[in-house]
Structures are given as C-alpha cells and as structure tokens.
Structure 1
C-alpha cells in the first residue's frame, strides 16, 4: 500500500516511500522481480529495497459484546472501534558510512483508533533513524520497533501470531493486541509479485494475512477495555510503488463475514481516471483469484470535504470486481490523517462497511485514499 511527501533528516531529503529521488532511479537496479516468497525470511525486512511497510487494520468491540453476537444484554449495539498500526522502513540512499550516526534507514510509524459512535479519530505518529535501540526493522522475521511501539510475529509460517503495543499520551489512547492467523498467507498478484503499472519495474512484493482473530486491551483516556474483533495484515516492499503517470491510489482490504477476503486497488491519474488496477478474492478454504488491471472499476459516490486539508474524498464507492459488485461506505467521514509530522502530507484511511448488490452488509474493512491533498511523492 502507501506513502506521502518529503521530510528532511540527517541532511537528506527522503521520500516516505523510500530514498531521495536520485537513489534507486535506474529500473535495472530494482531487486523486486518475480520470485517465490520464502517464509519466515520474507516476513522480515528487505533493507536493499527503497520502501517497506507492515500494516495492520481492523475492528474491535468489548469482548462480552462481541461474543454475544454483536449485541449487548440490553439490545443496544455495542461500541465499535477501528484501529490501524503501520510501521514503515525507508532506505535513505545515503552512501555507506562506518559511522553509527549515518542514517541509512529510517523507521516511521502511524497508529490510529477510530470511535465510530463518537465519530472521533485519535492519531499519533513517530519517526527515527534506525539504530541505537530506538528504532529497528529486523530481517528474518517481522520485528519492527520505534521507541515503545512494536509489532512482532511468532509461530510457524502458516500459523502466524502477531503482537503489537502502542501507547500515545498525546492521543489519549493505547492498545496491546494479538492477531492470530485463521487462514494461510494470501500472496497478492503473481505469487506475491504485485504490479503497479505496465512496466516490469513498477511492482512490489506483497502478501496479506486476512481474517486474523484479534484480541487484547484498548485503553482510551486511561480506561482499559478488553476487546476482540477481526484484523487484516499487509506487508509490502518496493523500489517503484507509484508510476510517474499516477498521483495516488484508492484501496480496500475487506474481511467478509463469510470468511472470504477481498482486496481491490486502483492507481489514479491527476484527472481522476484509472491508470492501473488490481486486487484479489479468496473464499474461505478456496484458491486465490487475482484480478487483472482491466477487471477492477471504482466509481466514486458521495464525497466529504476535509476542513483541515481542503481535499475532497469519495467516502462512498461502487467497486466492481470479477468476484462481484460491492458498495463501500465509510462508517464515519472524519477519518483523514495528518501525517506531516512523519511521512508528510494528508491521506484518508478508515473503517468502512461493504454491502452487496441487495444492500446487505457483508463485511468490514479499511478504505485508503491517497493523492487527494496533493500528489503522492515516491
């Protein structure tokens, strides 16, 4: 999936999707090309690539309410929360140096909790150079750290268990969550080689772990709540995540209620037309059906104007795929993120529902929209 404009650190202008514009400029230099993904090694970091992210989203409810089948004892709908935690690793492209202070890799992180009933999103962000025990993206398996925020994986490759810890005094939230795999790893694209455009180097390595069973503790304003729910995990690494002809993308990752997993993405030109598209569908226990670039169509519906960035985001979509036609609707509009303190710029990312053609809600997941408040810089 993603990310934003330029920041300055250690004297280098660095793109959040990687290094300075001059580094990794030659397509022949890319290390991202068709190959089998190997686990657990590919769960870990790939520091030779320009950019990488580990991304978990999902929904949470109080454990008692969620166990009772989405209703409280009084019959009222239980509180529903969306969450996101993303760690980014970005190669600066600076020349190799024996100095431990040389910023060869940067680590960024975003964490979000969305209160659906309260229509409130809490957000925090961090950035640091890798090293000194402050920030790290480990090779060999998932292990990312940024001060006291962390995301780690354990277990067999086909039975992952992730744990994440985040605490934000400024945002008034914290969570300690565990995500347990209920399905095999889903390889996106051609066996994990996911194209972002027609040219061979416009691609990433990309896999997902949908339908993760989530549980743990969510703390809001000092009040802890035992929660459980469903999560979606993505890991993606690339040298060329966005073609020059594109300004951003629209993406959904949806856990459907019947155990299926739906991914759809389109990359947009400046005039809003579709530059490239893709995605996948996997029924519970079934094979993956990957979508070709001409098999996915996003049609914008109702829009919401951000008072912070002045960007106008489509918060309702009709999404057409070979697996069916769906209506995607944000559960509340105010889910824009201001990431100017880390990866730079604004983007919209939030908990959304999916309905089938009859209007029946069939799943929950995340919608992400980038490039609406300015071209995504990669």
Structure 2
C-alpha cells in the first residue's frame, strides 16, 4: 500500500550512508520497517490511556537504531554487528503524579535487537513491537519492565501522514540536513497495563512517529520542542521548534495539521504569524535542567489558539544506561479554539537539550 504524496525517486548516497534528499516512493507496510542505509532511525509510540476504574495514564515506547558502519551490506555471521539499538519505556500515572521509566541497549548481533526490513517489527529483547495481522498499520506493543508492563494493541484510525514535502522533512539549509518522517497520528488502543503487580484493562488513543535520516541537525541547534496533539474535533497536529543555542527558534521549525476530512497542510513557524511560545518553566530536581512546560500555540491561518499543559511536571527521563542525556517526555492536555469553536484534547510533548547538550548519537 502506497501512502498518498509518495514520489518515484529516492535520495542519493553520500559518505557511505544514504542521505535524506530528493523524493521517495512510500509503500506500506514495508516502510514501517527499518532502513539500514540511513545512519539514525527511530520508532516512537506515545499515548493517553484510561483504565476500567477511570484512572488516567500516559505511555511511551521508543526504539532507536544507530548504524555502526558505512553501507548496508547484509551480515555474514550471526555475531556480526550492523547497528546499536536503544529502547526507552515510560509510564505516567497521572492521578497519582508518578512517573516510571526504564531503558535498554544492545547491538543487533544474535538477534538480541533488530528490526524487520519489510514489516512493522522492532525489538530489543524482551521488548517488542510486532505487526497486527488484520491491520497494515497496526502494531502490538509488549513490554515488561521492573515496575510496570504494557501489552497494547494499536489500530490505525487514519492512514500514514507524511510530513514536509512528500515525507522529506527539512531540518536545515544543507542537502541531507533532513529526515524522512511520517506519523500514524490516531491509533485506537486496547489492552492491559500492569503497575507494581496490579493489572488493569485500558483503552485510549496513541500516536506513532517513524523517522530516519543521516545527520539531520546543525551545530547551531541546542535541541527541539515537539508536540503531537489529538483534538476533540478530529484534527491532529504535529509541530516542533528547532531551538538555537541562544534560545530562539530556527527557521526550519514547523509542523503539519491534519483536518478531520483528511486534508494535511504543512506550515512554518514564523510564517503569517504562526507561533509556538513557552510559558511557565520548571526545574528538575534530578537533572537540574530547566524546562518550559506550558505553551501557547497560535496558528492564525486556521484561527487556532491552543494552550498546552503537562499532566504533571515530573515526566523527565534521566540519564543512565540507554539514555545518553536527560529529556522531558510526557502526557499533556490541550484546550482552546479552532475557527471559533472550543476544542480540547490530549497528546504528548518532548523537550530536549535543556539538561545538557545532545549526545552525538542523536545528531
């Protein structure tokens, strides 16, 4: 199945790795798999859940792949190594304002970690994302940590959303300073959650991001602020601010608005008054990082004005094995107006570069 907006020619190779340039013909479910010719790739699953007892939770499951060599020749031995994998899982217990996170890392030898090249299958044992047989975009997430576990089935309510120009999302002025980037912006979630030995059925909405490229960020950037928001009128909104070291927004900051009728529109922050501005700040007692946790989104083109607030403050993943630098990633709520009508919603927010510089793994 091909995503709308795909094109016929893929990017050119440079320096032994593939660069995100030109055009690409997208085909799913193949493109849910890994793209080993590119240096860096990630699969991001975030969502908001509600238990049968009414308790609210947020979750994150993320797999990162970093190529350890140039080129993409197939391994000749089970011991051979092509990529390093990292995985992060997190659970926000919203009502009790508790945050749990764990991480793992492994090389892909002996199939301890890996990803299929033609299917929505990623793993870092014992954590797995596997395709659903009856949904070309659906995925099962099965992760068990020390404090919590998630066994969720995510079914796509909307087709893949390509960001940028046909999925090529430019992060800077130079050719290749970009990534291939799409989302599954609205996934229906059912399954079970366990926390400290107690299990519960849950349901909710999730968002999936898949991004791959080689060397997307410029040296002038300190980090990014990213939002995935699902609104009550059926709209979905992804936007990010690429943040310069002086705190200002870089010129390639922007996002995509997906209307209820399926119309997708790319926009640039700073163009025609589109803005994303921070409000209240919070200092982490764990890392010392100072994060902007409330935000105002103004998109005059669609008469959109939204306020974003965290479900609670302490949703920071602190540095440790598999987490090269601290970052804030957590559940948020949103409310405001869209074309004069009141809207509300939920989503996820990611804030990086506020507690030290980004590790070269992600640059």
TM-score, with length taken from structure 2: 0.88
Tell me if structure 2 keeps the 8 A contact 1:154–1:161.
Answer: yes
The residue correspondences of 1:117-196 to structure 2 (distance < 5 A) are 117-155=95-133, 159-169=136-146, 172-196=147-171
What is the CA-CA distance between 1:329 and the residue it aligns to? 0.7
What is the CA-CA distance between 1:102 and the residue it aligns to? 4.1
The residue correspondences of 1:1-378 to structure 2 (distance < 5 A) are 30-33=18-21, 34-63=23-52, 78-93=54-69, 100-155=78-133, 159-169=136-146, 172-275=147-250, 276-295=252-271, 296-321=274-299, 322-323=301-302, 324-357=304-337, 362-376=344-358, 377=360, 378=363
What is the CA-CA distance between 1:299 and the residue it aligns to? 1.1
**Aligned positions, number:** 339
- Structure showing greater relative contact order (alpha-carbon pairs closer than 8 Å, 6 or more residues apart): 1
Secondary structure (helix, strand or coil) at the match of 1:274 reads coil
The 1:173–1:206 alpha-carbon spacing in structure 2 relative to 1, beyond 3 Å, is same
Secondary structure (helix, strand or coil) at the match of 1:42 reads helix
What is the CA-CA distance between 1:195 and the residue it aligns to? 1.0
Whole-angstrom distance in 1 between the partners of 2:46 and 2:353:
20
Tell me if structure 2 keeps the 8 A contact 1:305–1:312.
Answer: yes
2:7 aligns to what? none
Tell me if structure 2 keeps the 8 A contact 1:107–1:137.
Answer: no
Whole-angstrom distance in 2 between the partners of 1:244 and 1:81:
36
Q: 1:162-194: CA deviations, max 9, x gaps?
A: 10100012xx10010001111111111111111
Whole-angstrom distance in 2 between the partners of 1:292 and 1:27:
30
Whole-angstrom distance in 2 between the partners of 1:336 and 1:190:
32
Tell me if structure 2 keeps the 8 A contact 1:125–1:339.
Answer: no
Secondary structure (helix, strand or coil) at the match of 2:253 reads strand
Whole-angstrom distance in 2 between the partners of 1:264 and 1:227:
28
Secondary structure (helix, strand or coil) at the match of 1:309 reads coil
Whole-angstrom distance in 1 between the partners of 2:213 and 2:264:
22
What is the CA-CA distance between 1:127 and the residue it aligns to? 0.4
1:13 aligns to what? none
The 1:94–1:338 alpha-carbon spacing in structure 2 relative to 1, beyond 3 Å, is farther
Gaps of 5+ in 2: 1-12
